[in-house]
Structure 1
Amino acid sequence: MKITYYHSPNEITRSKSDPRLYLVTETVDIAQLCQEVEQPFYGAIVPHIIANNQLYHEGILEIRFDERDHVNFYLLDMKRPPEVSLRANTTLMMFSDLFNSSFEPFLEQFGTLLTTQTLFGSGVGGKSLTPMPSIFDQEQSYQCHSLIVEIEAPIHVGVKHGWKPLYGPLVVTKSKDNIIYELNNEPAFEVYAKVLRDLDGQEITSENFFDVAKAYPFGILSYTQNEFIVRDPLQPTDEQALLMVSSIATNETVYIMKGDHAGLIEAAVDNARLTLTPHPNHIHLLFDCISRVLYMGDDFIQEIEAIAAETSGMQPIFGITSIGEITNEGFNSIKVFNKTNLLGSIDNAPVDD
């Protein structure tokens, strides 16, 4: 496996043999990409590219696979039950369109297929966080699809976020899909606004919602790892409900969380220490939530640099900003996070014949 960053498609080195995955920002001309790449490929649109310990607002991340990766690509329509035959003990990279009602039922069904595989995935799409065809191949683009990339190499996965409880517990007394209607039998937005006002002096309205809410996500306590699974609020609805990036089930117990830049960076460093292997044969992948970028602004590069420092300069950090972070590592089912730092260290060592 080899990873390379390109600013534009015309910089790509042509080759007819290597299977490839392209992670691109929405500024990239996919038609031009198809002209430059001669062999079949798969790809996904992402908000940002992370390459060589830097954050890029535009560009292409090319992942070339070789014969020792034994790569398989599965392009799956999420409106249908997943039908794939997965090899045991493989690494599965998943890139999914989260902005549709089929995603969570699909994910639950896909989870039943997993036995000894490790999943390392991301929600994909553009910076606008709106529905769009975000998976593509050399023929066309696809909406409501997931792309699974299966490789032989093992991966070590770590998940941390740095958000701490501000208030709770609260019970989700009414919800449907990714909308919370009631918390403790009261309109969800009213409860959320009151907590922020009373405990942190923040006045939140529909007009300033994004600017304020990016610092106050929700957290679901995971008893498997004693870590909160973070959920991002997007906006209030006309019914005083809260539209979320990912769903929260009725009767779930949640907390309103708070964080600061230093705490988020510290959590990322802890994750790197536990997850990354400082060895030249390891590839280090980072899927870091776009909402961390939006919250931290210019300080986000400090998070990437702090993670890279834990590798002793052996290998640079590559990856993307994500719209939901997906893994089954450390859990008894597939989990979807928001505002979270997902790290993977892939053993890319040559295999002796």
Structure 2
Amino acid sequence: MTTDAIEQALDDSALPSVGAGILALLPEAEKDRLPLLQAACRRRGIALVGAVFPALIEHHQFSGSGAWLLYFDRMPPHFLLPAINAAGDSALARLVSAARGGLEHCPVNTPKPTLFMIFDGMLPNIASILDGLYLELSNRVEYAGVNAGSETFQPMPCLFDESRLVGDGVLALLLPGHMAPVLEHGFQQPEHTMSATSTEGNRIAMIDWRPAFDVYQEIIKAQYGIDLTRENFYEYAVHFPVGILRANGDVVVRIPVALADDGSLFCVGEIPENSMLILLEAPGAGAHGCIAHLAENLRTIHGDLSGAQLLTFYCAGRRMHLGQEAEKELLELRAATEVGEMAGALSLGEIGSTVRWGYPMFHNATLVCTPWKRA
């Protein structure tokens, strides 16, 4: 991310002189070099949007340096909304208004676009926003996205365009219909269910009318023989997420990331009050046919992927669980899809559905992939 390297990349891109744009993915370690990229794009009149992530995916490995520049010969409709929960219009109203404005500029008589959203991962109400968004836009778009920010879960401005770097917001693009992403997590559903009897946002206060940690602790002991304590909570929690059981049988994963003094559990993503929960055991690399299923779904929607470029987002919590096996899973994905190149980032939560045309949900521990075709 030097000035010379950026200028060389832009020279090599052969972007048109009018209407072109870039979606940039930066690792957290390179965030201080963003002004170099912004200045270069402003000088050339290139539209720029992007986000800062914990790390990048480079082929089938994770990297903390450089940047991915994803080119558009014609920049699609896009918008950046900072401080989305600030006083005034609601977050949902602002997002719906911006999305509808973007849809007016999408080509007619083409496959429906994908509303691809990148949220600041520190926003506490992403799942609620998605619920409202679907009620307003219904099936006018497909839905997908990821969360950006720091893996430390400390607030950090992480969304940008050619002149701004902001936090607490959302960046969205209306991607062409041929770029519909696919999401997969590979978790299997156990039999035992419980109820989140008291919640607030991403905090589970009580499960089955008892302090959440007490119940979580007991079930891990009963099902897996592990003596969970406050001292070893952070060692084990990433391996035993909770799942929200949806009416259609789908499971939405929530990874506990903090334990409060009163026994409350804090997760990445909201937990609706009185939702049915299950305790999950995070799968091993490629377990339950996860990668094969993801590759097959990609082929079903997009056809043969041999030699193609695959944009891939991989959950930071999933990498934390799998450790070095995470890169093995990326290698398996590349082999299963037979793509020529993989590019993407480590994300802090993912958006989409495990079925085509499904309801958009906020997930943890998933992979989100789409073929990248320069448009």
Aligned pairs (5 A) from 1:58-207: 58-67=65-74, 71-77=76-82, 78-79=84-85, 80=90, 81=93, 82=95, 83-84=97-98, 85=100, 86=103, 87=106, 89-111=112-134, 112-166=136-190, 168-207=192-231
In terms of mean alpha carbon deviation, does 105-114 or 231-240 score higher?
105-114
1:9 to 1:183, Cα distance in 2 relative to 1, 3 A: farther
In structure 2, how many angstroms separate the alpha carbons of the residues matched to 1:9 and 1:244? 40
**8 Å Cα contact 2:291-2:329 kept in structure 1:** yes
Aligned residues of 1:123 and 1:323 also touching (Cα < 8 A): yes
Match for residue 41 of structure 1 among 36, 48, 53: 48
| 2:36 aligned partner | 32
Q: 1:229 aligns with which of 235, 248, 252?
A: 252
Q: Aligned with 1:11: secondary structure?
A: helix
Aligned-residue offset at 1:230: 0.7
SS in 1 for 2:351: strand
Q: How far, CA to CA, are the matches of 1:242 and 1:259 in structure 2?
A: 18
* Deviation of 1:143 (Å): 1.3
Q: Distance in 2 between matches of 1:105 and 1:223?
A: 17
Q: Which residue of 2 aligns with 1:247?
A: 270
Conserved? CA contact 1:43–1:136, under 8 Å: yes
1:63 shift after superposition: 0.7
Deviation at 1:263, TM superposition (A): 4.8
Partners of 1:103 and 1:10 in 2: CA distance:
38
Q: Name which of 352, 359, 370 aligns with 1:327.
A: 352
CA distance in structure 2 between the partners assigned to 1:11 and 1:153 by the alignment? 32
Residue identity in the other structure for 2:310: H
Q: 1:172-321 alignment to 2 at 5 Å?
A: 172-224=196-248, 226-264=249-287, 266-276=289-299, 277-279=303-305, 282-312=308-338, 314-321=339-346
SS of the residue corresponding to residue 239 of structure 1 reads coil
Matched to 1:259, the amino acid is A
CA contact under 8 A between 1:161 and 1:264: conserved in structure 2? no
Distance verdict in 2 for CA 1:317–1:149, change over 3 Å: same
Q: How many aligned positions are there? A: 339
Q: What do the CA deviations read for 1:258-312 (whole angstroms, capped 9, x no partner)?
A: 1342454831232112214433585422221111111111111111111111223
Structure 2 residue 341 is matched with structure 1 residue 341: no
Q: Is the 8 A contact 2:51 2:160 kept in 1?
A: yes
Residue 14 (structure 2) aligns with? none
Structure 1 residues 280 and 160: CA distance shift in structure 2, 3 A: closer
Q: 2-side partners of 1:60 and 1:138: how far apart?
A: 15
In structure 2, the residue matched to 1:11 is 5
Displacement after TM superposition at 1:157 (Å): 3.3
Change (3 A) 1:34 1:177: same
State the secondary structure of the residue aligned to 2:239.
Answer: coil
> Contact 2:187/2:288 (CA < 8 Å) preserved in 1?
no
Task: Assess if the C-alpha contact under 8 Å between 1:230 and 1:337 holds in 2.
Answer: yes
In structure 2, the residue corresponding to 1:343 is in which secondary structure?
Answer: strand
TM-score (normalised: structure 1)? 0.87
- Name the SS of the counterpart of 1:154 in structure 2: helix
Change (3 A) 1:236 1:60: same
- What RMSD over aligned residues (CA atoms) do the two structures have, in Å? 2.4
TM-score (norm 2): 0.83
- State which drifts further: 150-159 or 181-190: 150-159
**Going by fraction, where is strand more abundant, 1 or 2?**
1
1:136 Cα deviation (Å)?
1.2
More moved, 256-265 vs 74-83: 256-265
Q: Using the alignment, how far apart are the partners of 1:319 and 1:183 within structure 2?
A: 37
Secondary structure of residue in 1 paired with 2:139: coil
Structure with greater helix share of residues: 2
Deviation of 1:229 (Å): 1.1
Contact 1:233 / 1:243 at 8 angstroms: preserved in 2?
Answer: yes
The answer to whether the Cα contact below 8 Å between 1:167 and 1:257 also exists between their aligned partners in 2 is no
CA contact (8 A) 1:20 1:42 kept: yes
Question: AA paired with 2:173?
Answer: V
The aligned amino acid for 1:76 is: L
Structure 1 Cα separation of the partners of residues 65 and 247 of structure 2: 39
